[in-house]
Structures are given as C-alpha cells and as structure tokens.
Amino acid sequence: MSPANRLNYYRRVFSAYLMSSHSQLTFWHEVPEVNPNASRSELGEYYMPFSAKADYPGHRDADGIPMLDYHGAIGLQYNPIAIAQWGLGNYNLFRRSGNENHRKKFLAASNWLCAHLEQNPSGISVWNHHFDWEYRTPLKSPWYSGLAQGQGISLLLRGHRETGDTSYLKAAEKAFLSFTNSTSEGGVTFTDERGHLWIEEYIVSPPTHILNGFIWAMWGVHDYFLATGDALARTLWEASVRTLLSNVPRYDLGIWSLYEFSGTWLPMLASPFYHQLHIVQLQVMHFLTGEDLFLQYAERWESYRRSRSKRTRALCYKAVFKICHY
C-alpha cells in the first residue's frame, strides 16, 4: 500500500471506530449466527439471520436503501453487498413474522439490485462498487466482487420466489454468468494449479482467496441450483465444496484462522469478528453438505476463540500485520 493510501486508510479507520456510532463498521460487525430456520434442500430463509442488519440505524436514501458511511475520502456510499444482506435480513424477518414492512424492505433491496446490475468491460453483468478501496492491491472504482454476485443472487431468487416477478429471476440469471467465467475473462472464479475452483471476493492478481467471501459466494451458487436446478450451478457448487474441503486446513495457523492467503511475508490473520464469522460459516457448510471436516474446524476455531492466550497472541499478531502491511 502506498504512503498516501496508507494515510487515507488510517484516517478513515480512526474516524469510523472513534467518531461515529453509525459508520460502515456498525453494519458489518453484527454478531455472526447460524439461522436455525434455514433449509438445505429448498430456498427458504437465508443461512444467517442478519436481524441487526435488517434494522440498521444508519443513513438511508430517499427510497429507504441503506448507504454506508466509510468516512474519510470515501464518505457515504451504496454497497451492493450491504444492500443484499439488508434485504436478506428483512426477508428472514418477513418469513417469520409476516410483517409487511419487512417485505417492502426486502423487495426494495431486490429492486435496487435489478436496477443497478451493470455490464463490466467483458460484457458480464455485475454489481459494481463505485468507490476506490484500500486493499493490498488498491481497488479502483468501479470494482465488482464474487461476494456481491453470490449474495445478490441469493436475494433476487427469494424475491422471485415470493412474488413470481420474473425480472428478479432474469437478473439473477445474468449475474450468475459471472460464476461461469474466470477472473481473467471478467468473471469471479479462479482455478489454481491444483485444479481447485475458487470464487474471489476481490478481483486481484495474484488472487487472495478471502475465506468469508468465498463461502458466502458459494451459498449464492447453491441457492441458484436450488431455485433453477441448473446443472452447471450444481457442478460449480460441488467443485467449490471440494476446494474448501482441501484448503480449510491451510487457513488454520494453530492459534487462529487466516482471513485470506495474502501473499505477504506475514500471513493475514482474521480479526476477532471474522474469526467468529468463519466458525459460523463452517457450521453452515456442515449443515449444507454433511461433511464432518467443516464441523471439526468450526469446533477447533471455537476453541481458539475461547482461549485467552490464543486470542491475545492473535490480536498482537494482527496488530503487527497492520503496521507492516497497511
């Protein structure tokens, strides 16, 4: 990261943590939970509740769509991932309560996703982020994400299920094409030298295989198969499950989980929030697949989280990583 980007990063993070109760972090850092009402065999409630995100108290536009305050040079922005999660949280609450207000919100999010599906330079329909983002390789506006593609699809398919409106299904079909193309072709998948299929949260070279983004994106592929019976979606789901099974041990540092394979001289540990998210995501993966390895690592990482010494070592390690690489 360049000195200018590093300065902007620290200014923005300092402001978000200390100067506002409604920063973008307020939205993202909901306590991760498994949704016990989700189904593995049909399109129902989403796999995590997102209840706090459904009632996010931050800024809304004139149509009630949440906008996240990143502070600093980025400021107030639409984030398609946040909008999809806000919609999924409201969908879950509507399914449980029948409350019409939650239905309106989840359909508002679905409508926003339909209206903001854009073609990238390769002609593939994506949800763009229209702001620069400080990452190992800075992401320049507009940039798209396999995570956004997966969760956008998950929401639109539920919008179609609820209303029968084919515009939601057509938008999901367009977005799904990003999973059938590699990152070099304008899509969001990457096949490594071992033949493992990854879905990339950030489209950078070399790829970083962010764990939480990969898993959330996988659920979008799974939902697409449930909703459409598409044979290619099933193939992609099974291939990504094999990738995750083969690589989960590589994310285990012995004291904590890795956030990604960053390619930096210090591996990037997950923050406490993302470590807990990884645990929940692996619990869901065990629920969806029956693969015991996922539960084994969820339980192992939970034991790390409950260990004061390992938690302290992980926090110290994370601080050193930030100083060295951000």
136 — pLDDT class (breaks 50, 70, 90)? confident
> In the structure encoding, which two tokens stand for residue 139, read together?
């992401």
Where is average pLDDT lowest: 157-171, 220-234, 310-324? 310-324
Which CATH number characterizes residue 260's domain?
1.50.10
The arithmetic mean of pLDDT across residues 62-75, rounded, is 93
**Domain region containing 248:** 3-325
Q: Which residues are CB-contacts of 316 (< 8 A; sequence separation ≥ 6)?
A: none
**In this predicted structure, what is the pLDDT of residue 301?**
99
**In this predicted structure, what is the pLDDT of residue 17?**
46
Rounded to 5°, the CA angle 259-237-257 comes to 15
29-40, pLDDT tens digit by residue?
Answer: 999 999 999 999
**In this predicted structure, what is the pLDDT of residue 10?**
47
More confident residue, 63 or 3: 63
Rounded to 5°, the CA angle 66-68-73 comes to 145
Q: Is residue 69 within a helix (H) or strand (E), and if so which, with residue range?
A: strand 68-69
| Cis status of the peptide bond prior to 206, with omega within 30 of 0 | yes
> In the structure encoding, which two tokens stand for residue 195, read together?
């033949």
**In this predicted structure, what is the pLDDT of residue 326?**
64
320 SS3 class: helix
Residues in the chain: 326
DSSP class per residue in 190-225: EE-TT--EEE-SS--SS----HHHHHHHHHHHHHHH
Distance CA 242, CA 239 (A): 5
Number of domains in the chain: 1
Residue 16 in this model has a pLDDT that exceeds 50: no
164-177, pLDDT tens digit by residue?
Answer: 999 999 999 999 99
More confident residue, 19 or 143: 143
186-225, pLDDT tens digit by residue?
Answer: 999 999 999 999 999 999 999 999 999 999 999 999 999 9
DSSP class per residue in 212-275: HHHHHHHHHHHHHHHHH--HHHHHHHHHHHHHHHHHGGGGB-SSSBBS----SSS--BPPHHHH
What percent of the chain stands above pLDDT 70? 92
143 SS3 class: strand
> In the structure encoding, which two tokens stand for residue 30, read together?
């909901």
Q: What are phi and psi of 173, to 5 degrees?
A: -65, -40
**In this predicted structure, what is the pLDDT of residue 325?**
60
